């Protein structure tokens, strides 16, 4: 009986961890899907030449110094779009 109780406790812990992981993943997928429009807009910004114009304006010192400009760093936006695409592909292959 002691072995049975320990087994049930162990299985209960595993089930609790699994449920937490499932709920966390559901939330993450919902958040991921929620930024799809943002990614599409950022992709257009990067590909249509506007990013380059903004980057060059920043390099020329034409933008305010206190302007947040992480989107203009050489790799940040490209890396985000690449990571998003890779994750999106990974999610499709698990369907």
> Is the same domain home to 14 and 54?
no
Tell me the average pLDDT across 54-82: 96
Name which of 37, 84, 74 is nearest 54 in CA terms.
Answer: 74
The model's pLDDT over 23-36, given as tens digits with 9 standing for 90+, comes to: 999 999 999 999 99
The parent domain of residue 20 ranges over 1-34
Number of domains in the chain: 2
Name which of 48, 49, 54, 42 is nearest 84 in CA terms.
Answer: 42
Sign of CA dihedral 85, 91, 92, 94: positive
> Is the same domain home to 29 and 68?
no
> Is the same domain home to 7 and 47?
no
Distance from the Cα of residue 29 to its chain's centroid:
9
Model confidence at 71, pLDDT cuts 50, 70, 90, reads very high
> Is the same domain home to 44 and 17?
no
Checking if the pLDDT of 94 tops 70, the result is no
> Is the same domain home to 83 and 41?
yes
> Is the same domain home to 73 and 90?
yes
């Amino acid at each position: 009986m002691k072995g049975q109780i320990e087994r049930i406790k162990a299985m209960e812990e595993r089930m609790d961890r699994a449920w937490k992981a499932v709920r966390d993943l559901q939330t993450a997928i919902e958040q991921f899907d929620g930024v799809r429009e943002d990614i599409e807009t950022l992709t257009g910004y990067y590909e249509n030449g506007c990013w380059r114009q903004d980057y060059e304006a920043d390099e020329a010192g034409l933008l305010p110094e206190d302007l947040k400009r992480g989107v203009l760093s050489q790799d940040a936006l490209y890396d985000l779009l690449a990571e998003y695409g890779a994750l999106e592909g990974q999610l499709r292959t698990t369907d």
